[in-house]
Amino acid sequence: MKKLTSEDRLRLMKFVCSFVWADLEVKDSERKFVTRMAKKLHLEGAEAKLVQAWLEVPPRAEDVDPTTIPREHRQLFLDTIRDAITADGEVAQDEWENLALFEQLLGKH
């Protein structure tokens, strides 16, 4: 994660937030996971506020295009998203389907 640029860190969090919204509900455990990730990525100020806003209203679908993820970061994004959707101890069918599709789009299937 240390190799991520500021833009890539925000991109990662945008994807994570979009995935925790897959079941149309952000649970407390998911919210805590996202907050911990933002801190781990050293997001502060305006960047942290953006992440919190994405927990209130999901990012627009057109803003989470998997083709924008640099190839060298794709596994990290996939692993982090998998961690995010399992953070609440239960994974909705929509979340699994979205993860499988994401994995295919990244060429990781």
Residues 3-39 pLDDT 10s: 899 999 999 999 999 999 988 889 999 999 999 999 9
Residues 70-101 pLDDT 10s: 999 999 999 999 999 898 888 888 888 989 99
HSE-up (13 A, CA, CB side) for residue 41: 29
**pTM for this predicted structure:** 0.90
Sign of the alpha-carbon torsion through 92, 97, 100, 102:
negative
Residues 38-54 pLDDT 10s: 999 999 999 999 999 99
CB 99, CB 85: distance < 8 Å: yes
